[in-house]
Structure 1
Amino acid sequence: MARDGIDLSELDEFTDRLIQSSKEAKKTQRRFLQQQGNKLKRKTKAQARVSGIKTKTGNYMKGIKRGKVWSSRNGAQAVRVYSNAPHAHLIEEGHDQVVNPGKGKGNGRGVRPGKGIGRTVGHVEGREVFLKAGEAFEPEYERACEEAIDEMISKI
């Protein structure tokens, strides 16, 4: 409508497109983060194989998962890759190597009551699988973010 020589119809159309695109952007962001989380999960499993982690049962590798996309208090969305294996923190951060004192005879099995749980004979260094995989994935993630943002802007 042209009143006093100013036509605001194009501005109204642009604001409508912005509102519509913001609704679509939430879905797009969620899908994007899920895809990137899956890529990071694959990189993490590959890093675990490269690190030489021995697999007796495969529970460590099966336990590496992608979490849900969640929003923080300041509105930023995030996704995490984690391991739900009970021994994952020992592989990631390292641990003391302990030998049980035994029951007198035998080859050191069992714990003598009241004598503690064993003695430390060394330290096993952490493999830092998640840290290394995250550092290796960071440049790829940044490029993907830039491409996704450019794509969302071009749709507007």
Structure 2
Amino acid sequence: MLDIEDVGMDEFRETLSYFEKNFPRESKKMMNRVGTRIRAIIKKKANQVVDKKTGNYYKSIKKGRVFESGYKELTVRVFPSYKIAPHAHLIEKGHRNVGKDGSENGYTPGKYIFDKAGREIDSLYTKIVEKELDKAFKKL
């Protein structure tokens, strides 16, 4: 006959039941922390690229709420708040320089901060999520 020892199985079952109950809440907290880290990366990139005059563009970079998208995926957005910096799209995409009389005086190229930071985040995203998952597992 086959004799099976269940050493530690009760603890494992308790751990699984804990995750079953608390994982949705923990995953939202984790994604919130991931969004905060991403926001910090974007702000660092903006600080390097944009010349600071008033600081409104830098202050406008915000993290949104964590929400469920499409297929039960948790998503968090990081975006420039247009209430604080209505000129954010001009810095990001570029614009024509137009004088008071309507004459065009040149073109200011875009800085594409979110695109550049997005490429950096793509390479770091798995590391960030792994660190946050480790923190969540250590709470057990």
2:75 — aligned with what? Answer: 78
Quote the Cα distance in structure 2 between the aligned partners of 1:60 and 1:129. Answer: 11
- TM-superposition CA deviations, 1:56-100 (whole Å, max 9, x none): 221111111111101113211111111112111111111111112
Larger radius of gyration between Structure 1 and Structure 2: 1
Q: 2:36 aligns with which of 35, 38, 41?
A: 38
Deviation at 1:36, TM superposition (A): 1.2
Deviation at 1:43, TM superposition (A): 1.2
RMSD: 2.6
CA shift in 2, pair 1:39/1:17, >3 Å: closer
SS at match of 1:123: strand
Contact 1:40 1:137 in 2 (8 A): yes
More helix by share: 2
CA shift in 2, pair 1:148/1:65, >3 Å: closer
Contact 1:25 1:152 in 2 (8 A): no
2:123 — aligned with what? Answer: 139
CA shift in 2, pair 1:154/1:35, >3 Å: closer
Quote the Cα distance in structure 2 between the aligned partners of 1:81 and 1:155. Answer: 27
CA shift in 2, pair 1:61/1:22, >3 Å: same
Deviation at 1:151, TM superposition (A): 7.2
Letter in structure 2 aligned against 1:22 = E
CA shift in 2, pair 1:69/1:43, >3 Å: same
Q: Describe how 1:1-156 pairs up with structure 2 within 5 A.
A: 14=13, 18-51=16-49, 53-84=50-81, 85-101=85-101, 118-148=102-132
Quote the Cα distance in structure 1 between the aligned partners of 2:100 and 2:116. Answer: 33
TM-score by length of structure 2 reads: 0.76
TM-score by length of structure 1 reads: 0.69
Q: How many residues align?
A: 128
Contact 2:30 2:133 in 1 (8 A): no
Quote the Cα distance in structure 2 between the aligned partners of 1:150 and 1:83. Answer: 30
Gapped regions of structure 2 (runs ≥ 5): 1-8
Which aligned runs of 4 or more in structure 1 are off by greater than 6 angstroms?
Answer: 150-156
Deviation at 1:154, TM superposition (A): 9.2
